Amino acid sequence: MTARVGVVTFPGSLDDGDAARAVRIAGAEPVRLWHGDPDLHGVDAVVLPGGFSYGDYLRCGAIARFAPVMETVVEAARGGLPVLGICNGFQILCEAHLLPGALTRNQHLHFRNRDQVLRIEATGTAWTNAFQPGQEVLVPVKNGEGCYVADPATLDRLEGEGRVVARYLGGNPNGSQRDIAAITNEAGNVVGIMPHPEHAVEALTGPSLDGLGFFTSVLKHLVGAPA
């Protein structure tokens, strides 16, 4: 049976179509989910896409965190549902307290849009098991509020528990502490990433095909997950 991966659309979402296409290219069935509908329609995993949910009012992700769909996503994630938050989706996961820390204004105060090399640090998550530890990948980054921050104790805990999923190489585009580009929760089913793997799944439009591994990883995870 083909895995069904939900992609949530919020008012102001920008990359929901790209995320759905990446899901399809990876071999799963994308299921479009609406912010105002708490029903996840039986999906096997969820992607919170990039964009500017609710216009980024108050703080990026602060309003989206209270959307009806997020009540269900939070509960399901705590029960083991794989959830990937990309860019604005990462911000929403932090606002929803599924991941620690916060994403703040880029230290240089400029929007940054470029192709970015990442080093994959953690390969035991639902979204990165297709990679090798230390593997370098090239995916686009595009953000204005992508600077990951947390208190020193939280940063040390993430490091000590192997929960830093990816780091920036060749220059930090936003000033994120310890060059952190992606993190995971303790269970490894929830991952937040600031760069955009969904924009690196086709040779025609992306700088590489490296982003596809995030989406094939969750399919591999679902195959091995208990029924």
pLDDT grade, residue 227 (50/70/90)?
very low
* pLDDT score of 128 more than 60: yes
Q: Which of 60, 94, 121, 196 is catalytic?
A: 196
What mean pLDDT, rounded, does the chain reach?
96
* pLDDT score of 226 more than 70: no
Q: Which of 95, 121, 145, 198 is catalytic?
A: 198
> How far is residue 10's CA from residue 173's CA, in Å, rounded to a whole number?
26
Query: Model's pTM, two decimal places?
Result: 0.96
Torsion of CA 54, 56, 57, 60, to 10 degrees: 120
- Is the Cα dihedral 198, 213, 158, 169 positive or negative? negative
Find the mean pLDDT for residues 141-170.
Answer: 97
Q: Which of 87, 94, 145, 199 is catalytic?
A: 87
Domain count, the chain: 1
Please tell me whether residue 7 adopts helix, strand or coil conformation: strand
pLDDT of residue 180: 98
Phi and psi of 182, rounded to 5°? -155, 145
pLDDT of residue 73: 98
Q: How far is CA 104 from CA 56, 174, 194, in A?
A: 12, 9, 11
Burial of 67 (0-12, 13-18, 19+ CB in 10 A): buried
pLDDT of residue 59: 82
CATH number of the domain where residue 8 is located: 3.40.50.880
Amino acid in the structure at residue 43: V
CA 218 to mean position of chain CA atoms = 12
DSSP string, 156-204: HHHHHTT-EEEEEESS-SS--GGGEEEEE-TTSSEEEESS-GGGSS-TT
Find the mean pLDDT for residues 192-220.
Answer: 97
* Segments forming the whole domain that contains residue 18: 4-224
Question: 106-110, 128-132, 186-190, 211-215: lowest mean pLDDT where?
Answer: 106-110
Is 87 in the active site?
A: yes
